[in-house]
Structure 1
Amino acid sequence: MTDLIDSLAAIPGQYDAVFCDLWGCLHNGKTAYPAAVEALRAFKAKGGTVVLLTNSPRPAGSVESQIAGLNVPRDCWDDIVSSGDAAQYGLFSGAVGARVHHIGAPKDLTFFHDISPDLAPLAAAHPVTLVPLREAEGVVCTGLADDTTETPDDYRAALLQMKANGLTMLCANPDLIVDLGDRRLYCAGALAAAYEDMGGTALYFGKPHPPIYDLARRRLTALTGKDDPRILCIGDGVNTDVQGGQSEGLDTLFVTAGIAAHEFGTDANAPDKTLLAAWLAEKQQYATYAIPFLH
């Protein structure tokens, strides 16, 4: 049975680190949640390490700039690991070839040139060229070109052309949807799912898939010097944060007031325990803990 708690501090102090999701937990796409900031600060003050683990398709440096603009202070986290970071390893290892077509917004072009020092030698040895779809060996999808107006249906023709040409899609963000304030937007994962429904092949590197956790563990070990730290995964995505943590053998804290808030009653601050238990059972997922909002 998932333990419904009222604060991060209420969890017994057995964790050395948290892998904390961003969108829906620490911010809503427009501004930071002050209570979540303070919860992470308090965890750090007790000696814990905070790694922000996000399915953003952007590399960590770009994510840091983005969340600074959302008033997420630098003193509430220690490192950032993104799906973009993990997917870059796949790209520069040749997972979809050297001539690739990009599906996504111009703001996501940092994915191709914002390279971390540890990845720079691999990127230099295996350069990638962006080309039109008709010339591509593979496709990198970071999202929709305009996620405020478009849906996956707008990409049906492009996906059919990709399938006809036998192209593999590297999906830099496995999330299907996010909530920007009170607006719901589609992510790269929705396009990858549509492509797979057509019989196409998609590769994933973010949550809940192993590459992002492998990278996060390496970064955490570099920060702390601990080879086997005790980690709690925090997030509002049952199929990403919860499933990913479970698959890694890690405890999880499910934030109920995120993208699934409507499933647990009319009061986001007081989720119905019976509805929560039934919903998790239906999803065949188990969270160690649940909390309405991170605080």
Structure 2
Amino acid sequence: MAGSFFISSIRSLAQHYDAMLCDAWGVIHNGVDLFPGVTDALRTFRKERGPVVILTNAPRPRRVIPPQLDRLGLPRDAYDGVVTSGDATRAAIRAHLPSPAFRLGPSKDEALFDGLDIQFAELEASGFMICTGLEDDQQESPDDYRSLLQRAAALKLPMVCANPDIVVNWGGRMIWCAGALAEIYEGLGGKVIYGGKPHAPIYDVACEMIDNIRPGISKSRILAVGDGLKTDIQGANNQGIDALYIAGAGGVHDGVADEAGVKAKLRAAGARVVAASEALLW
């Protein structure tokens, strides 16, 4: 990949920024393995430039993410904090209480509801629904839920979507996320409330965290790093934050072999970036 649009490392780019918002899945790891060079890139940015906040659309509270990163091998001195879609989603859930909720998602997302006084009910007895994902993302597809979503749309139940991601790359296999169900629901005329990327609530939380760590950093001095055009890059664009697109094969795409191909993908998505790279390296 040649040309100034592509960079082999963030070393020269980093001098223009004082904080980083870094996506997790697809940039730091693939759900199974940590990507080579990521630890050094994050550690060095923290040391030479400023705070690193991991910004993930995981539909769980931030406290559960560092132990997961520990298991993958990312040391805690590589980042300052974590903000999740789950953090931003909890406010949307509270706004719908005390109405009973229909829960759609796997048991592993139980931590999202800690401390929230929620009464779960059957679909027809609910005032809204909370979607954290497919109940079995290893075996099911979004189409398996179309009938259920049609019933919910007929009831005009708003959906709180805890993870706007459509898919993630899990060790080379694409896994469907809550955003795929939300996309179907919107197509059926249903109302969806999002907290995670690319929507504003998660960025409000993240920028507040950065300001608590180092006050006074403006959005013009923050770099967002991500592999999702509709989430990471569009979210940064919406916030006036510069973005670095990770275009390697470890993300939610097949990888692109040339600059023209990446630029075409960006144009098609209406996305703007300051640069692209195959991986997050220093």
Within-5 A mapping of 1:1-295 = 3-94=5-96, 98-113=99-114, 123=116, 127-226=117-216, 228=218, 230-257=221-248, 258-259=250-251, 261-262=253-254, 264-265=256-257, 272-295=258-281
Offset of 1:259 from its aligned partner?
3.3
Following the alignment from structure 2 to structure 1, what is the Cα–Cα distance between the partners of residues 203 and 131? 20
Offset of 1:263 from its aligned partner?
5.3
Contact between 1:192 and 1:202, CA under 8 Å: does it hold in 2?
yes
CA 1:232–1:201 in structure 2 vs 1: closer, same or farther (change >3 Å)? same
Following the alignment from structure 1 to structure 2, what is the Cα–Cα distance between the partners of residues 259 and 67? 17
**Among the aligned pairs, what percent are the same residue?**
38
String of CA shifts for 1:191-244, please: whole Å, max 9, x gaps. 000111111111111111111101111111111122526100000001111111
Structure 1: segments with no counterpart, 5+ residues: 116-122, 266-271
- CA RMSD in angstroms comes to 1.7
CA 1:2–1:91 in structure 2 vs 1: closer, same or farther (change >3 Å)? farther
Following the alignment from structure 2 to structure 1, what is the Cα–Cα distance between the partners of residues 151 and 14? 53
CA 1:188–1:97 in structure 2 vs 1: closer, same or farther (change >3 Å)? farther
Output the TM-score relative to the length of structure 1.
Answer: 0.89
Contact between 1:254 and 1:290, CA under 8 Å: does it hold in 2?
yes
AA at the equivalent of 1:5: I
CA 1:216–1:37 in structure 2 vs 1: closer, same or farther (change >3 Å)? same
Output the TM-score relative to the length of structure 2.
Answer: 0.93
Offset of 1:261 from its aligned partner?
4.5
1:34 is paired with a residue whose SS is coil
String of CA shifts for 1:226-278, please: whole Å, max 9, x gaps. 2526100000001111111111111100000143543523xxxxxx0111122
String of CA shifts for 1:54-101, please: whole Å, max 9, x gaps. 01101101122222222221110001000010000111122x753111
Following the alignment from structure 1 to structure 2, what is the Cα–Cα distance between the partners of residues 162 and 97? 19
Contact between 1:57 and 1:82, CA under 8 Å: does it hold in 2?
yes
CA 1:108–1:282 in structure 2 vs 1: closer, same or farther (change >3 Å)? same
2:280 is paired with a residue whose SS is coil
Following the alignment from structure 2 to structure 1, what is the Cα–Cα distance between the partners of residues 68 and 14? 32
Structure 2: segments with no counterpart, 5+ residues: none
Deviates more, 1:97-106 or 1:146-155: 97-106
CA 1:182–1:222 in structure 2 vs 1: closer, same or farther (change >3 Å)? same
Contact between 1:178 and 1:259, CA under 8 Å: does it hold in 2?
yes
AA at the equivalent of 2:85: S
String of CA shifts for 1:4-29, please: whole Å, max 9, x gaps. 11101121512110000000100110
Contact between 1:2 and 1:287, CA under 8 Å: does it hold in 2?
no
Contact between 1:101 and 1:139, CA under 8 Å: does it hold in 2?
yes
Following the alignment from structure 2 to structure 1, what is the Cα–Cα distance between the partners of residues 63 and 35? 21
Following the alignment from structure 1 to structure 2, what is the Cα–Cα distance between the partners of residues 81 and 191? 23
Offset of 1:34 from its aligned partner?
3.4
